Amino acid sequence: MSQAQRIVLASRPVGEPKASDFRIEECAAPTPGEGQVLLRTIWLSLDPYMRGRMSDAASYAAPVPVGGVMEAGTVSEVMTSNNPGFAKGDIVLSRAGWQTHALSDGKGLAKIDPNIAPISTAVGVLGMPGMTAYTGLLDIGKPQAGETVVVAAASGAVGSAVGQIAKIKGARAIGIAGGKDKCDYVVKEFGFDACLDHRDPDLAAKLKEACPKGIDVYFENVGGAVFEAVFPLLNAFARVPVCGLIAHYNDTQAVAPKWAGAMMRNILTKRLTFRGFIVSDFAARHGDFVRDMSVWVREGKLKYKEFVTEGLESAPEAFIGLLKGANFGKQLVRVGPDKV
């Protein structure tokens, strides 16, 4: 039996998660039973939604139980297969979680063709974050040529795709990110029309300047000060896909945003649309997503940036950092080599 490791939820965080809310455990690699495959994790994806799974507040998915393995999407290799659908050496997209090895009965596994794109993109631009950007922007935001689209966390996995898809559709893309390096990258590499630093005390004024014709689509993934700067600039008929609220995930109590009292009135008088979604709501669009995004990536119209930490044991710290914007690009953990 080879050795395995897993990271479990040690305790439910109050506010910002701490290293002690996670526990790394050593165990024997499991043995696949009939119909099962043994998976080895290559890439572990860390994403903001996982903060919700650590909490037992009502949400769209059940929380991870205390003592349970942290959930995550992974890119994994089939090491042993007792399932006729999979062969040793297959690379698959799985929800194996924060661990080096996992068993699966094959349900929910999707094979990845390593010849199409680097396999890590299956949990990035060609996976869940990319599809979140694609469906939220196109199916809810519906940007038209010449309109202005604003998105925060613009150097991240979702935000970077949102702005680039907006550009592909002929809209202006204004990003918001943390710090000069990220902002420069968003403009120079991802081709946004402008990118503003959310730490700038003059964010509201600078955003207004960057959006002289107002904002038609605000892809909401942060909340907080960015929402407060965006809200008064929303044009009549603006659309706000609500994808995430990372600025609030560590809140210990609900805080009414500055515009709360005016929100319903503005929804009415400006005829705004606010619509929450999660990527699985648009499962029917998966074929369109794969077709469009793989072409855009291949043609260089849609770029991506990865931010990698090494080893499963780096995951807790990397995740805590992700919630504070310490990552610069799609946060990945390299759990194992591409080939053993």
Residues making contact with a copy of itself (CB under 8 A): 52, 58-60, 220, 223, 227, 236, 242-245, 248, 253-257, 260-278, 281
Q: Pick the closer one to a copy of itself by CB: 208 or 301.
A: 208
- Reference 331, options 285, 108, 37, 321; nearest CA is 321
d(CA 261, CA 97): 41
Do the Cβ atoms of 154 and 330 come closer than 8 Å?
Answer: no
Q: Pick the closer one to a copy of itself by CB: 261 or 337.
A: 261
d(CA 88, CA 17): 37
Q: Which residues contact 272 (CB under 8 A, 6 or more apart)?
A: 234, 237, 238, 239, 240, 266
Q: Pick the closer one to a copy of itself by CB: 115 or 253.
A: 253
Do the Cβ atoms of 162 and 136 come closer than 8 Å?
Answer: yes
Residue 263: strand, helix, or coil: helix
d(CA 79, CA 229): 50
Smallest separation (angstroms) from a copy of itself to the CB of 42: 31
Which amino acid, residue 291? R
Q: Pick the closer one to a copy of itself by CB: 106 or 276.
A: 276
What is the DSSP track for 78-97? EEEE-STT--TT-EEEE---
Q: Pick the closer one to a copy of itself by CB: 154 or 234.
A: 234
Q: Pick the closer one to a copy of itself by CB: 250 or 294.
A: 250
Q: Pick the closer one to a copy of itself by CB: 35 or 52.
A: 52
Smallest separation (angstroms) from a copy of itself to the CB of 330: 21
Smallest separation (angstroms) from a copy of itself to the CB of 272: 6
Do the Cβ atoms of 96 and 77 come closer than 8 Å?
Answer: no
Smallest separation (angstroms) from a copy of itself to the CB of 174: 20
Smallest separation (angstroms) from a copy of itself to the CB of 288: 20
- Reference 247, options 154, 137, 156, 152; nearest CA is 152
Crossing angle of helices 286-298 and 128-135, in 10° steps, is 100
Do the Cβ atoms of 238 and 217 come closer than 8 Å?
Answer: yes
Smallest separation (angstroms) from a copy of itself to the CB of 266: 8
Smallest separation (angstroms) from a copy of itself to the CB of 137: 16
